[in-house]
Structure 1
Amino acid sequence: MTDCQEFSTPMSYQQQSYACPACGSTAEYAPGTAVLRCPHCRAETPIAPVPRQVQEHAWEELATLPLKQRAAGGQILQCSGCGAVNETDVLSGRCQFCASPMVASAATDRIVPEGLVPFRVDQRRVHDNLRAWARSRWFAPNSLKKVSAAETLHGTYVPHWTFDAATASAYTGERGQEYTVGSGDNKQTKVRWYPASGQVQRFFDDVLVPGTAHIPAQKLKELEPWPLQQAVPYQEAYLAGFRTLRYDIEPEAGFQSATQKMAKVIKEDCRKNIGGDRQRVHHVNTNYGSVTYKLMLLPVWFASYVYNGKQWQVVVNAETGEVSGDRPYSPWKITLAVVLTAVLAGLLYLLLGRHHHH
């Protein structure tokens, strides 16, 4: 890439427009399909498949990619629906004036998404799943059951990094052999420790790390596992009508998080390798070979509702429909459960006592 291309003005973003061939309004991606559907006349346009696969990228490639300075305040997108100018820091979203879908080109980022898992669960099913979720919360206040009709829903593609690595680890530690001393009531279990060392190897495939710090990592973790094998090669058409966050965690920082995830698994491998009745792992030295990465977009419905003057947030995996999130607890129901447990324990105690006397 030449320097003059690299420093083109931050405002000149290419932009995709998905005009409905039948009525001219802007079409949107229809969850669970491979078509763009017009919200007004329901006309459908197939999304042509692209002749490429979702691929891993060698870690060494990163060093050759120039770090790009994103324009402060995001980019300027002109809405193809009403012509309004919108300033935004997301890859796709809706016009703040007429709500038409807008999709920017990802070519302006240092790394373009490699693939995405398309939305499969549509709004109606999200509402159904949220109602079922609200009903199944035991200690939730009864009025929560009515809340799921009133929430706001945002379908959002959330960037994630995936990493592969072939690891070879050398460890030192101790193996513990248990033995017993004494007998009867004085019997005790003791442990003899012996030095242990060795090597373990493991190949990690698609270790997933969020690519944005805007959403708590724990919230995203609750939506795992993701069916990454359902991913399709990145095409902007799938973003039409949805919000898409840009990554703000660089792959280098993402890989640091991935190695922490890998370290936990490697430590367990070391324990198994040590054997014996108990294990202590003192030191592990790991080499990471054949490291690859890719940027993936994963579909999440964000629902928020107000309950008792407080905002609560729920997230839904838009591929599997799984719901996870915050909810209020009813102090009355919890008190009642505690009282009932105490009454039952008392009754059981009385019954057992009577049985004992007989």
Structure 2
Amino acid sequence: MTDPYAQHQFQQQAGPVAAHTYPCGGCGARVQFAPGTSVLKCPYCGFRQQIAASDRRIREIPFAELAVLPRKPVGSIGAYVLACQRCAARSETNETASLCQFCGAPLVVDATATGQIVPEGVLPFQLDRAHLRQSLGKWTSSRWFAPSALKKVTEAESTKSTYVPHWTYDSQTVSAYSGSRGEYYYVTEYYTDSEGNRKSRRVRRTRWYPASGTVARAFDDVLVAGSLVLPGKRLDDLAPWPLPEAAPYQPQYLAGHFALRYDVEPENGFEEAKRRMAPIIAEDCRRDIGGDVQRVDAVDTRHNAVTFKLMLLPVWIATYVYAGKNWQVLVNGRTGEVHGERPYSKVKIAIAVVIGLLVLGLVAYFVFRSTGSHPH
């Protein structure tokens, strides 16, 4: 993809790589994408430049095309060496969008020149820094046993608006299964109680029957994180993502923000996607078996019409220091969902334990009084 505003040059270890930056039409500085809008805005003079609508469409790529896509394995790509035309400084980065370390100019690597698969879509940031502080404030206020110093995370300077690569997968699955269907029935049992009386009771038992069959399901946009830089479980917890609101990829959405390049190949991502589909398919099998209870012994799944695409999803990364340790918090840049690490306050926990013991003591005291018991 070419861009008439390209002003910076990047250089990979194996050769030069083009990049984009966007000069301000008002003061000559650099404009940045403004979250929650469709414009590039100058942080100095306020000049606004509309992002032109793209004639591209977000495409679902047939998985079979992976064999013919021109791409380099993750491990063969070195750091990008960039030269900033604004201040002439040089620095290295593994990110596909960054800021000049010396003058702060926004830099976006030309995705077609990275040797990696080009993103199909981007979900632009909706939350700006003001809304980020609100989301973090709600999160910190709900952490009961966190130290009071945790409140400062709402004003943390170490926050980065980062686009994180994710793979999405579609698959038409057909699964043959074998297992058993359990049906409840009841019998009457007789027993003798402790006083020698003969009594009866109804006991539930299960009668099992062999079962087999085939189920089908269409999976759409199964998400798998394409970066190992951030904790995968915490990224998953930021879901759901409003993927239908994504825009066809344009580098302008990355201007002034950071973007990670993927380090999970799409083939490996699909293996993880299949693991995420498996519990849903197993539940389909149990539903198809019927009865009162089910056993699924074996499932053989065929994946048909598999497609994939690379998406960039917005994540605010906030880090803060407490007790000499770095703690990380991730915020969904679209919905404000927050998940992260937090310390526990030993003082607050101790106070809670003391209060709990006092409450138990008061309850015991009033119970004794109500029953007329008095301690000697």
Question: Do they fold alike, i.e. is TM over 0.5?
Answer: yes
**Partner residue in 1 for 2:168:** 162
Residues 10 and 75 of structure 1 are in contact (CA less than 8 Å); yes or no, is this contact kept in structure 2?
no
Residues 11 and 75 of structure 1 are in contact (CA less than 8 Å); yes or no, is this contact kept in structure 2?
no
1:25-50, Cα deviation, whole Å (9 max, x unpaired): 11111111111111111101111011
Residues 166 and 227 of structure 2 are in contact (CA less than 8 Å); yes or no, is this contact kept in structure 1?
yes
> CA 1:246 to 1:312, structure 2 compared with 1: closer, same or farther past 3 Å?
same
**Partner residue in 2 for 1:94:** 99
> CA 1:349 to 1:180, structure 2 compared with 1: closer, same or farther past 3 Å?
farther
1:346 CA displacement: 5.3
1:23 CA displacement: 1.1
> CA 1:285 to 1:353, structure 2 compared with 1: closer, same or farther past 3 Å?
farther
1:274-304, Cα deviation, whole Å (9 max, x unpaired): 1112111100000111101000000000000
**Partner residue in 2 for 1:198:** 213
Counterpart of 1:81, as a letter, is: R
Counterpart of 1:100, as a letter, is: A
1:63-102 matches, cutoff 5 A: 63-68=67-72, 72-102=77-107
Residues 166 and 288 of structure 1 are in contact (CA less than 8 Å); yes or no, is this contact kept in structure 2?
yes
**Partner residue in 2 for 1:152:** 158
**Partner residue in 2 for 1:208:** 223
Residues in 1 aligned to 2:122 and 2:306: alpha-carbon distance in whole angstroms: 21
Choose from 129, 132, 155 the match for 1:126: 132
> CA 1:111 to 1:150, structure 2 compared with 1: closer, same or farther past 3 Å?
closer
Residues in 2 aligned to 1:177 and 1:352: alpha-carbon distance in whole angstroms: 48
1:66 CA displacement: 3.2
Counterpart of 1:23, as a letter, is: C
1:1-358 matches, cutoff 5 A: 10-68=14-72, 72-108=77-113, 109-181=115-187, 182=189, 187-345=202-360, 347-348=362-363
> CA 1:343 to 1:263, structure 2 compared with 1: closer, same or farther past 3 Å?
same
Residues 156 and 318 of structure 2 are in contact (CA less than 8 Å); yes or no, is this contact kept in structure 1?
no
Counterpart of 2:104, as a letter, is: A
**What secondary structure does 1:204 align onto?**
strand
Residues in 2 aligned to 1:151 and 1:190: alpha-carbon distance in whole angstroms: 62
1:165 CA displacement: 0.4
Counterpart of 1:180, as a letter, is: Y
Identity of aligned residues (%): 49
**What secondary structure does 1:175 align onto?**
strand
1:21 CA displacement: 1.1
Residues 13 and 81 of structure 2 are in contact (CA less than 8 Å); yes or no, is this contact kept in structure 1?
no
Residues in 2 aligned to 1:348 and 1:163: alpha-carbon distance in whole angstroms: 57
**What secondary structure does 1:261 align onto?**
helix
Counterpart of 1:112, as a letter, is: V
How many residue pairs get aligned? The number is 351
**Partner residue in 1 for 2:9:** none
**What secondary structure does 1:54 align onto?**
coil
Residues 15 and 104 of structure 1 are in contact (CA less than 8 Å); yes or no, is this contact kept in structure 2?
yes
Q: Which moved more, 1:79-88 or 1:210-219?
A: 79-88
**What secondary structure does 1:65 align onto?**
coil
1:76 CA displacement: 2.1
Residues 73 and 88 of structure 1 are in contact (CA less than 8 Å); yes or no, is this contact kept in structure 2?
no
Residues in 1 aligned to 2:279 and 2:180: alpha-carbon distance in whole angstroms: 18
Structure 2, unaligned runs of 5 or more:
1-11, 191-198
Residues in 1 aligned to 2:310 and 2:44: alpha-carbon distance in whole angstroms: 33
Counterpart of 1:60, as a letter, is: A
Residues 83 and 90 of structure 2 are in contact (CA less than 8 Å); yes or no, is this contact kept in structure 1?
yes
Counterpart of 1:62, as a letter, is: L
1:140 CA displacement: 1.1
Residues 140 and 330 of structure 1 are in contact (CA less than 8 Å); yes or no, is this contact kept in structure 2?
yes
TM-score (norm 2): 0.87
Structure number, greater radius of gyration:
2
**What secondary structure does 1:127 align onto?**
helix
Q: Which moved more, 1:333-342 or 1:196-205?
A: 333-342
1:155 CA displacement: 0.6
1:80-115, Cα deviation, whole Å (9 max, x unpaired): 321222222211101111111111101023310000
Residues in 2 aligned to 1:55 and 1:150: alpha-carbon distance in whole angstroms: 38
Counterpart of 1:76, as a letter, is: V
1:339 CA displacement: 3.8
* Structure 1 vs Structure 2 CA RMSD: 2.2
**Partner residue in 1 for 2:6:** none
**What secondary structure does 2:127 align onto?**
coil
**What secondary structure does 1:130 align onto?**
helix
